[in-house]
Amino acid sequence: MDDAGRVPYFPRTMSAPVRVRFAPSPTGYLHVGGARTALFNWLYARRTGGTFVLRIEDTDNARNSQAAVDVILSGLRWLGLDWDEGPLTGDADGPVNGAHGPYFQSRRGDVYRRRAEELKASGHAYEKDGALFFRMTREPVTIPDLVVGDVVRPLTDREALDPDWVLVRSDGVPVFHFVNVVDDLEMGITHVIRGEDHLSNTAKHVALFRAFGVEPPKYAHIPLILNLDGSKMSKRDQGASVQSYVDEGYLPEAVINYLSLLGWSAKDVPELFTKEEIAPRFELADINRANARFDLKKLEHFHFEHARRLAPDRFVQAGVEALLKAGIDTSAFPTGYVSSALLTAQEKGKLLKELPTWTDFYFAADDAVVFDPEAKAKALAPAAMPVLQKLGERFAALPGFDAVSLEATLKALATELGVKVGALVQPCRVACTGRLVGPSLYHLLEVLGREKVAKRLARVSTEG
């Protein structure tokens, strides 16, 4: 402690261990911009061997809810952004990691009261109308920012009229600017990485830190994420909520990859990566200064690439869950069959939500394959029945039921009958899957197996 009785603030030198934080308010959902802020904090912590703190800013504003807290925690976990310090559950009084708690601001009232008294005692704050006001500096404040450089923020004309601002409301609840600074101070935060929407207000924060007798942390204000048309992203906009990615069946790896490249890039780093791979390359200086626009098409591209590269066992696991969500229970089938079946669709790189459409036929009863009307009209015309029957006979006579043999057999028959390969491929596909599109025909037949294929072929060629 120093002469004034304060706990000495952590010296901010280059060698000081980095401590960053993500401090969301639980007011509804996890915004994609917030997710990226969390990601950048996570990357910086990992890159520097520092500590990533999660703090819930739930000061009473009548908008907070338990559900919103849970959404934030589950969203971060889904993205794989693990925090070193913070709550372990959504319970404000529950278990935590770290020695700087509580990590819910609603449980830190005594800290704020103590700090408010400190400011009153030092003459930086005064009471008026039942509220506590901060004696704001009238001089322009220089905000040192690692992304945009030094920003000089003078008072606006409105502020010049009445520069002081409220620290603690008349109802006793401290405001954001106050608790945010106090907590960053108490928690030893060294780098504040947050959205650019906070840049202007940082003047208040810098002044507050100084009033406490310490230098502010380093700031890095990152550009915002806007809609494709440049407008602000709000809750209803497509892609605004992290939960929507879970629902739509995106892989978290894809979302992370896409978000990493929204406002950040490094030289000689391939565009496709995992957060673990680029963490060592993450520098705040490489953060872009201009706002970015959210392009779902590009996110889809990243999903496509990551889905195809996913480890087979993980792909199967994700696929089984996606099917179950769609009402298809695969548990009655042999696990080997289930994985072989799902794996025939992996190369397609489809969203998990679309997986049932590509693989449901594997799990349908042979006499209950549902035919897409258009597919049936197009490929199962009466004229196709004789060739289909012939194909069934050839398949049945096959010694081995593998993709290579199946393909050779089908093509040989086509040549023999003097028809195009498609004249056999299409009816066969529709007879076995009900659809015109799907996994590679020969591989899908191999997985279905001799018996199922025979039954399905027989079903259409006899029923017509």
Question: Strands 131-134 and 165-168: what pairing?
Answer: antiparallel
Out of 289, 367, 393, 462, which residue is the one contacting RNA (CB under 7 A)?
289
60 binds RNA (CB under 7 A): yes
Out of 48, 122, 137, 265, which residue is the one contacting RNA (CB under 7 A)?
265
Sign of the Cα pseudo-torsion (252, 255, 258, 260, in order):
negative
| Segment 331 to 360, residues that bind RNA, using CB under 7 A | 347-349
Q: Is 293 left (phi over 0), alpha (psi -120 to 50) or beta?
A: beta
| Segment 389 to 418, residues that bind RNA, using CB under 7 A | 414
Out of 157, 280, 463, 464, which residue is the one contacting RNA (CB under 7 A)?
157
Rounded CA separation 52/286 (Å): 20
199 binds RNA (CB under 7 A): yes
Out of 97, 137, 357, 440, which residue is the one contacting RNA (CB under 7 A)?
440
Min dist. Cβ of residue 227 to RNA (A): 9
Q: Which has the closest alpha carbon to 54: 174, 183, 204, 178?
A: 183
Min dist. Cβ of residue 269 to RNA (A): 9
Q: Which has the closest alpha carbon to 323: 244, 242, 249, 246?
A: 249
| Segment 8 to 27, residues that bind RNA, using CB under 7 A | 25, 27
- Helix (H) or strand (E) holding 195, with range, is strand 191-195
Q: Give whichever of 210 and 348 is closer to RNA, judged by the CB atom.
A: 348
236 binds RNA (CB under 7 A): no
Out of 231, 238, 335, 462, which residue is the one contacting RNA (CB under 7 A)?
231
Rounded CA separation 4/216 (Å): 19
Out of 175, 193, 320, 430, which residue is the one contacting RNA (CB under 7 A)?
175
Min dist. Cβ of residue 394 to RNA (A): 17
Residue type, 31: H
131 binds RNA (CB under 7 A): yes
Q: Which listed range, 4-12, 88-96, 295-303, 366-374, lies at the site for RNA (CB under 7 A)?
A: 295-303
Out of 425, 432, 457, 460, which residue is the one contacting RNA (CB under 7 A)?
425
63 binds RNA (CB under 7 A): yes
Q: Give whichever of 374 and 393 is closer to RNA, judged by the CB atom.
A: 374
Q: Which listed range, 47-55, 93-101, 222-230, 316-324, lies at the site for RNA (CB under 7 A)?
A: 222-230
Out of 120, 210, 281, 298, which residue is the one contacting RNA (CB under 7 A)?
298
Q: Given the residues 120, 128, 232, 235, select the one marked as catalytic.
A: 235
421 binds RNA (CB under 7 A): yes
Q: DSSP states of 38-58 as a string?
A: HHHHHHHHHHHT-EEEE-B--
Q: Is 455 marked active-site?
A: no
Q: DSSP states of 347-377 as a string?
A: TTT--GGGHHHHHGGGGS-TT-PPPPHHHHH
Q: What is the dihedral of CA 456, 457, 460, 461, to 10 degrees?
A: -160
Instruction: Kindly report the number of other CB atoms within 10 A of residue 367's CB atom.
Output: 10
Cβ-Cβ contacts under 8 Å for 410 (sequence gap 6 or more):
391, 394, 421, 424, 425, 428, 442
Q: Which has the closest alpha carbon to 38: 28, 27, 49, 24?
A: 24
Return the active site residues.
Answer: 235
